[in-house]
Amino acid sequence: MIEKPENSLEDLQEAFDIAFILRIIEDSKIPEGMKYVDLNTSFTPDQRKVWTFLKYYTARIEVCVNEVLQRVYFPIRPVCNYIAVKTKKALMLRVNRESQ
């Protein structure tokens, strides 16, 4: 029997949380912060692979609450790649986009 590494899910969530912070810095385009998300200067080769993975598997939506636009970041779990195209399309058609 293969045992799950201790804290692996918590570690993955922490990695996504850090990725959200880096995405916020990247989206802000503030020069002082951009040096932290520059793949060519900030990261070792292994860190570059992790950042590329996390960036690919994170997304954001923009939600307007009380006339204030907020960006909400969330992970896209790799298992989502295995959802059938027909199922994805059906879900997209059923989602209510009229409310918050």
Domain boundaries, the chain: 8-94
46-97 pLDDT, tens per residue? 888 888 888 889 999 888 888 898 899 999 887 888 889 999 899 889 988 7
| pLDDT above 80 for 4 | no
The label of the residue with tokens 């570690």 reads 11
Q: How many CB atoms are closer than 10 A to CB 24?
A: 14
Burial call 30-66: b when 16+ CB within 10 Å, e when fewer: eeeeeeebeeeeebeeeeeeebeebeebbeeeeeeee
Q: How far apart are CA 50 and CA 85, in angstroms?
A: 27
